Amino acid sequence: MTQYYYALQIYTSLYPWTKPCIAPVLLHNPLDVIECVSKLIDKQIYDTQNPEILRFIEFFKSSRELVADYVQGQALQRLGTGVDIDRFLSDSSYKEDTVLGLAMTLDSEVLDLAITLAHKYDVSLWQVYMTHLQHLFDSEITTAQVRKHIEERKILKTLGKEPKDFVARMEQNVYLTVNGCDHERLLLYYSLIEQCGEKQDSQMATSHIKLLKKLKGSAKDLNYKMLLKPDSDILALLRPVLTADNVKSLAKVAKSVPCKEGDGIEQSTVYCAWAQKYFFNPPSDKKPRTSSDWIHRYELCGEYMQKMNAEDVLKFVSQLVLSGEGSQSVPLEARMEITQKVVVFCQEQKKQKEGDETNVWEETAMKVERWGTHLGLLRSSTFQKLHSSNDPLLKQYANRFALTGSSQGPLRELACSVLLEKSGLDALQEILSVYPEDSVTTPEDVIMDTLRQLVAHWKREKTEVQVTAKGRDLLVILDHILGEVEKYINGGGDLLSEEEVLDELRTLCEDANVSLQLRVDVLTVAGKHLSMSEEDFQLGRVMRTGGIVGDEWPNVNISVQPDQLASAASRASLLNNLLTETSSLSQVEAMITLLNLWPPFCPEEYENLSTNPWMMIFTKALEILSTNPAAGMEVIWEAAQVAVKQNQLPGESIALLVRKLQALGRSALKFCFKMALLSEDEEVHIVVLNVLRDIEEITEADYDNYLLECIIAKNLVADVLPTHLYGPLVSYLIEAAKKPSVSSAIQQLQRAGYHQEAASLASTQSSIPKLLQNVSSMLKTYKKWL
């Protein structure tokens, strides 16, 4: 209606009607009038100097936009897309998100709407089509359907205008959704890049397309994406798809696979993978049973070995004699004979080669020969005893040793893993007992080696032995290792000293690049098991102090150095600096932590009210808590108890603290009284007792069980009698039913001459029914308690 109104205003301004009858324009359909005026405005058939017409035109366009938005909103509602219409009409970013969301569809009507909205609201059509393409690849429709949809919609015509962005989005979003074994989908993926990418990307895609076409027929289950990853296990990927029929064709195309930094896959690797598969899974149903059968199976692999290089021969033989599959399937005698035959094969290969290749085959022969010697160890009584152990852990280590081939790297890793897996030195000694004679490794060597690997891992340095943090608490492992060191030294071991271990840990603790918390934790664990020097403790204090200061005073430029904690004077100076910058209760707690961490100050410092560090902190705390004393009283109370136990808060300081608490009023009453009872000074007690006498009503917030117990322990029951705290005290004695406390309270009342009150208190602990209790019986009970 609004739009029709402005349309009439504009039309009548352009074509005034002066005759004494109804203007023809009013007789037309309103929609026709609106459409006519829209055409006039679009063709600019109006007086651009007429401000009134221009104002009506502006209103007309605005109403036209609103109507268009409404119509689009109705279309969205009709499609049931779950769009918030009100937000869609008012929020521009929501409009764009909605349009791109609509593009994620297989419904043609919804996609058409998304394209229409993109045109209307200036949303990038490229983004719409790219989002739609991503959705197509991620959907469950067939690749043929995806290809047909792309062609029918002519999507590439738009997407090809931004080749760099297109390739980037394809690699980042689309590639992830494609199954590496779906060669058809991968072909489509690369064909799109070939068509829309820049020259270099297009050429790369063409290479992939050629290769995929060759692989599609001969190795349909090969995971092509995994094949392209430089860290993939190529042999494990190839083995499942290799057959006697396709091994030769795959060997031919292998070099073209752009993996391992563009080097491709050697034909040797393909034949190695096939030989491994052929050895364990022969085409015939008849599987080898005896050693002779397995030797024969090895000999049948001879033609494939001829096509392998020395590196792949090692991989092939390792799978036969040192893998879990080989050790479970192939008898030990057969594996030993296989190594002997491989040594002969390597020596023959050496004779046929020239230059450096002769050395390579010589080294290969030596390595296989060592494997054979290692397999011989598995027949020894020492290994057999370990392998047949009732301890499942030792049995597991024996199995792992069997697969090392007595190679130095695996042997070292196995030894370290014993400690990393929190086994003891006894288990380690059992494992080392089966090591070959030329592997001179002692438990002490393994301890230091494992510690070095841990330290290197924490320093983010490369470790020669794999230290995996996943699923492990390395600090717990360190605690275990140092615990074993402690047992070793206490047991008389003298080939490893505490100082050697500490030196290794110090390299970590002194490394500023390692997190402060970790260094502190490591030093704390070391302190549990090793006799650390004063320098070590000082290093720990410096690190902890630095961490606390950094956390609680992040905006204060204070860098904690060893010399700042070296003397009482330097510590006092640091404390004063922190006090000046302190404005919160958490910072007060941090300073209390520092005082407990640092060595004590000299006695004179504590005796002097102006230099006592505890009083300085408590005074600062009370300043902070002046508006809400109850918030941090517990912090002061806990710290005061510690200070008193350490003889660092003398009576004069307690008296001053009590006066400061008293000045805070009723809210600090409980802590004022408790603090006073920390002192042996009767005058301090009298001060708080006088405060109590002036209070007409006592609430539960004014006392706790600890305070009531202290009143009894300090022989102040009789002094409390005239106050309103006596009632809660009696209730506590009745409920707690502690005979020593009740007896002490009765005696205190009796000594002060309060015989009737003492008798009354004694009667509460009697088993006599209340109806039979009178003054006489209470006195009898009272005497009995005394």
Q: Cβ neighbours of residue 529 under 8 Å, at least 6 residues apart?
A: 479, 482, 483, 485, 486
pLDDT of residue 517: 86
- The lowest-confidence range among 45-59, 422-436, 645-659 is 45-59
Using pLDDT thresholds of 50, 70 and 90, give the confidence band for residue 775.
very low
pTM: 0.70
pLDDT score of 777 more than 50: no
Residue 613: the pLDDT is 96
**What is the DSSP annotation of 150-193?**
HHHHTHHHHHTTSHHHHHHHIIIIIHHHS-TT-HHHHHHHHHHH
Kindly list the distances between the CA atom of residue 735 and the CA atoms of 298, 723, 727, 728, in Å, as whole numbers in the listed order. 87, 20, 12, 10
Confidence of residue 773 (pLDDT cuts 50, 70, 90): very low
Q: State the pLDDT at residue 631.
A: 74
Which segment of 69-78, 305-314, 401-410 scores lowest on mean pLDDT?
69-78
Q: Which of 124, 99, 95 is nearest to 113 (CA)?
A: 99
Distance CA 579, CA 581 (A): 5
* Per-residue pLDDT tens digits for 689-708: 999 998 988 999 899 999 99
> Alpha-carbon distance 185 to 205, whole Å?
13
Task: State which amino acid sits at residue 224.
Answer: Y
Mean pLDDT of 252-265: 76
Residue of higher predicted confidence among 312 and 56: 312
pLDDT for the residue numbered 61: 65
Q: Which pLDDT does position 70 carry in this prediction?
A: 63
45 — pLDDT class (breaks 50, 70, 90):
low
Mean pLDDT of 74-100: 75
pLDDT at residue 66, rounded to an integer: 66
Confidence of residue 771 (pLDDT cuts 50, 70, 90): very low
Query: Which is more confident, 32 or 356?
Result: 356
Q: Return the closest-CA partner of residue 622 out of 631, 613, 611.
A: 631
CA separation for the pair 30, 75 (Å, rounded): 22
Each as own residue / partner, the long-range contacts of residues 406-413 (CB below 8 Å, 24 or more positions apart, any chain) are: 406/370, 406/371, 406/373, 406/374, 406/377, 406/435, 406/436, 406/439, 407/367, 407/370, 408/439, 409/464, 411/435, 411/439, 411/441, 412/441, 412/449, 412/464, 412/465, 413/465, 413/466
Low-confidence winner among 83-92, 101-110, 380-389, 444-453 (lowest mean pLDDT): 83-92
pLDDT score of 88: 74
Average pLDDT over residues 418-429: 94
Give the per-residue pLDDT at 69: 65
Residue found under tokens 């009013």:
26
Give percent of the chain with pLDDT exceeding 90. 63
pLDDT at 769: 46
Whole-number pLDDT of residue 776: 46
Asked whether the predicted pLDDT for residue 282 surpasses 90, the reply is: no
pLDDT at residue 289 is higher than 90 = no
The yes-or-no verdict on residue 90 having pLDDT over 90 is no
pLDDT value for 80: 62
Q: Nearest CA to 763 among 736, 744, 741, 784?
A: 784
pLDDT, tens digit (0-9, with 9 covering 90-100), for 204-220: 999 999 999 988 888 88
Give, in degrees to the nearest 5, the angle at Cα 526 between 520 and 527: 90
pLDDT digit string, tens, across residues 473-530: 899 999 999 999 999 999 999 999 999 999 999 999 989 899 888 998 999 999 999 9
Whats the size of the chain, residue-wise? 786
Task: Tell me which residue of 83, 139, 82, 85 sits closest to 107, measured CA to CA.
Answer: 139
Per-residue model confidence (pLDDT) at position 732? 92
Candidate from 182-186, 287-291, 655-659 with smallest mean pLDDT? 287-291
Burial class (CB in 10 A: 0-12, 13-18, 19+), 482: buried
pLDDT at 720 > cutoff 50: yes
pLDDT at 785: 46
Query: From the centroid of its chain, how far is CA 18?
Result: 82
Least confident of 3-12, 668-677, 735-744: 3-12
What integer pLDDT is reported at residue 11 of this predicted model? 66
Q: In angstroms, how far is CA 687 from the centroid of its own chain?
A: 56
Tens digit of each residue's pLDDT (9 = 90 or more) over 377-416: 999 999 999 999 999 999 999 999 999 999 999 999 999 9
pLDDT digits (tens, 9 = 90+) for 551-610: 999 988 888 888 888 899 999 999 999 999 999 999 999 999 999 999 999 999 999 999
Question: What mean pLDDT value characterizes the chain?
Answer: 88
DSSP 285: S
